[in-house]
Amino acid sequence: MSEALINRTPPPALPIPGDNIDKRYIDSQNNVLRLYFGNISNAVNNVTGHLGGRFLDISNALFYSTVDQTAAAINTGYTVQFENTYLNHGVTINGGSSSQITVEYSGIYNFQFTGSVYSVSASPKNVYLWIRRNGTDIGYSTKQYVLSGSGDAVPVTWNFNIDMTAGQYLEMVWATSDTTAILEAAAPSSPHPGIPSAVMAVSLVSALPDTLPTPP
């Protein structure tokens, strides 16, 4: 199937009538309107037709980290770092930061986080993960994970929708009851490619509601 792009449709440039409106003016106006509505029809038919979503220009991004991330102290929040960018369309990492995921446009966004938590000691330990928006922790957004011993590896995940206004940033924050729990990355090793310590995928879901929700 060919990929036919939808042309942007500007308002019709209708000719300005003279003092005496004649048939040539009417014909010219009709031609302009015919072209304009033809373009609108083409756009609507493509978007609402088979797989029309492929024509939509939607904010999206994917960021990841290829290094180990450690906690210097127990029970202390540390922002998850994403020093690599794979996709960034309308969503970026703030300059000077590897943690602040910033949206260009207001809307409801879906964030899909995955981290690779690893225990390097035998003691049992807890790892906590939560959401922070524009420097403020989101209430009741924490997930808890338990590692039972040395070599224990747990994928930590958080898939959520959240309202963001243009220019706001979101961070993932983690803490641990034992500094021997780390977000671990691994180099490629046959038969698999490398393992990131953290990955975040972002996509725009919809426009903001008329009344913004109040965080818990």
Whether the ω angle into residue 191 lies within 30 degrees of 0, i.e. cis, is: yes
What six digits make up the tokens of 167? 């220019």
Does the pLDDT value for residue 100 go beyond 60?
A: yes
Q: Is the dihedral of CA 111, 117, 123, 124 positive or negative?
A: positive
Averaged pLDDT, 158-183: 97
Among 30, 31, 36, 55, CA closest to 45: 55
> How many Å apart are CA 84 and CA 207, to the nearest integer?
28
- 11-15, 99-103, 105-109, 132-136: segment of lowest average pLDDT: 11-15
- 124-128, 136-140, 152-156: segment of lowest average pLDDT: 152-156
Among 43, 38, 34, 41, CA closest to 8: 43
Amino acid 7: pLDDT: 65
Q: What percent of the chain has pLDDT over 90?
A: 69
> How many Å apart are CA 199 and CA 216, to the nearest integer?
26
What angle is formed at CA 134 by the lines to CA 184 and CA 138, rounded to 5 degrees? 75
Residue 23 backbone dihedrals phi, psi, to 5 degrees: -65, -35
Does the pLDDT value for residue 17 go beyond 70?
A: no
Does the pLDDT value for residue 2 go beyond 60?
A: no
Amino acid 8: pLDDT: 64
Residue with the larger pLDDT of the pair 206 and 1: 206
What angle is formed at CA 200 by the lines to CA 179 and CA 198, rounded to 5 degrees? 30
Does the pLDDT value for residue 151 go beyond 50?
A: yes
Average pLDDT, the chain: 89
Averaged pLDDT, 182-207: 97
Residue with the larger pLDDT of the pair 1 and 187: 187
Does the pLDDT value for residue 189 go beyond 80?
A: yes
Does the pLDDT value for residue 206 go beyond 50?
A: yes
Q: Residue 100 contacts by C-beta under 8 Å, 6 or more apart in sequence?
A: 93, 94, 169, 170, 171
DSSP for residue 53: G
Amino acid 4: pLDDT: 54
- What's the chain's Rg over C-alpha atoms? 25
Among 96, 93, 56, CA closest to 200: 93
pLDDT tier at 1 (50, 70, 90 boundaries)? very low
65 close to 82: Cβ distance less than 8 angstroms: yes
Q: State pTM to two decimals.
A: 0.82
- The hierarchical CATH code for the domain 60-206 is 2.60.120.40
What six digits make up the tokens of 177? 């009851």
- Tens of pLDDT, residue by residue over 20-67, are 677 777 778 788 888 888 787 777 777 777 777 777 889 999 999 999
